[in-house]
Amino acid sequence: MNLSIKNLSKTYANGLKALNNINIEIGSGMFGLLGPNGAGKSSLMRTIATLQEADSGTIMLGDMDVLNQKEEVRKVLGYLPQDFGFYPKVSAWDMLNHFAILKGINNPKERKEICEALLNQTNLFDARKRNIGDYSGGMRQRFGIAQALLGNPQLVIVDEPTAGLDPMERNRFHNLLSEIGENIIVILSTHIVEDVRNLCSNMAIMNQGTVLLYGKPNQAIEDMKGKIWMKLIDKEQLTEHKTGFRVISTKVVEGKIQIHVFGNTQPDPSFVPLVADLEDVYFATITN
């Protein structure tokens, strides 16, 4: 099953053009949607998840018209929004059982087996009787994935799932996403480049409601080969270098400013070549 998005546009009442003629084809596996805050990622996710209308364009999930067959799409959709609401004084078991009923899993024996399997898959079974309000951030996100997997979805959408997680919980969450993304479509919307680099075989980079780059991360890195240059400068030199060169990123290294510059040739002998990574692709794309 493929997800096909064609000519999708959305403008809010305040005049903000959140989606500007989006065209993407997504197959099974992990698909990364990268972009800064306000790029339009969440607007696209909400539209795919049937939570808001588009002004124009189409979204097809297999032979289902997402924009016009919302109830049918919701039966095969799992969604973990950026702000996942929960009842803090309810146990994980009771909450997941409640979500399963809402999902239409009415047979008690079947529902019990499904909830047990999902809590085991997300490594929460031993903590199933604890209130969700007592969970760590990572545990709550894993519970969010458990509820998103109810009903054997063909499409799972996760919006900024690792923001605020510590490194151990991020790794655990990455492993879980990789596991569930083997046979279904999983869309990972994030501003964390490393998440896409670690997990996704295909991606798109968005900014200001527009898709700026669409393809495979490895190919995008290969296309950047020989075009990224690095130099350490004093802080006072930054404005001058930004004026003279296409500086795509900066960071402080041992009291100096390390700049990465995009250029088809060496800017001058003071710059050294760098092996590009996905972060360089990302910054070069959104600063173009």
In the chain the first and final C-alpha atoms are separated, in Å, by 34
- Joined tokens for residue 271: 């710059």
What is the arithmetic mean of pLDDT over 111-126?
Answer: 93
Distance of alpha carbon 257 from alpha carbon 124, whole angstroms: 44
Distance of alpha carbon 108 from alpha carbon 10, whole angstroms: 42
What is the arithmetic mean of pLDDT over 193-219?
Answer: 93
pLDDT at position 221 over 80: yes
pLDDT of residue 108: 93
Instruction: Map tokens 């992990």 to a residue.
Output: 30
Choose the final residue of a domain: 100, 128, 147. 147
Residue pair 226/265 in contact (Cβ under 8 Å)? The answer is no
Give, to the nearest 10 degrees, the angle between helix 92-102 and helix 108-121: 120
Amino acid making up residue 160: E
Per the structure, the complete domain to which residue 143 belongs is given by: 86-147
Indicate whether 134 and 166 sit together in one domain: no
In a domain, 81, yes or no: no
Indicate whether 17 and 33 sit together in one domain: yes
Indicate whether 255 and 239 sit together in one domain: yes
pLDDT at position 101 over 80: yes
Task: Using only the alpha carbons of the chain, give its radius of gyration.
Answer: 21
Indicate whether 69 and 157 sit together in one domain: yes
* pLDDT, tens only, 68-84: 999 999 999 999 887 77
In a domain, 111, yes or no: yes
Indicate whether 228 and 210 sit together in one domain: no
User: What DSSP letter does each residue of 8-46 carry, written as one string?
Assistant: EEEE-TTS-EEEEEEEEEE-SEEEEEE--TTSSHHHHHH
Indicate whether 176 and 280 sit together in one domain: no
Mean pLDDT taken over the chain:
92
Choose the final residue of a domain: 147, 164, 183. 147
pLDDT of residue 118: 93
In a domain, 40, yes or no: yes
Neighbours of 151 (CB within 10 A): 18
Could you give phi then psi for residue 9, rounded to 5 degrees?
-135, 150
Indicate whether 6 and 112 sit together in one domain: no
What is the arithmetic mean of pLDDT over 231-248?
Answer: 94
Indicate whether 49 and 179 sit together in one domain: yes
Indicate whether 125 and 230 sit together in one domain: no
> Which band of pLDDT confidence, cut at 50, 70 and 90, is reported for residue 260?
very high
Distance of alpha carbon 54 from alpha carbon 17, whole angstroms: 11
Give the percent of the chain with pLDDT over 70: 100
What is the arithmetic mean of pLDDT over 198-219?
Answer: 94
In a domain, 57, yes or no: yes
Indicate whether 66 and 99 sit together in one domain: no
Nearest Cα to 150, choosing from 221, 194, 102? 102
Distance of alpha carbon 81 from alpha carbon 161, whole angstroms: 8
CATH code: domain of residue 159: 3.40.50.300
Indicate whether 123 and 209 sit together in one domain: no
Buried b / exposed e over 232-257, threshold 16 CB at 10 Å, is ebeeeeeeebeeebbbbbbeeeeeeb
Instruction: Map tokens 């088809």 to a residue.
Output: 264
Indicate whether 131 and 252 sit together in one domain: no
Choose the final residue of a domain: 215, 232, 258. 215
If one counts the domains in the chain, the total is 3
What is the arithmetic mean of pLDDT over 250-269?
Answer: 94
Residue pair 131/90 in contact (Cβ under 8 Å)? The answer is yes
Give the percent of the chain with pLDDT over 90: 74
Neighbours of 228 (CB within 10 A): 24
Distance of alpha carbon 115 from alpha carbon 57, whole angstroms: 37
pLDDT at position 261 over 90: yes
Instruction: Map tokens 């545990």 to a residue.
Output: 139
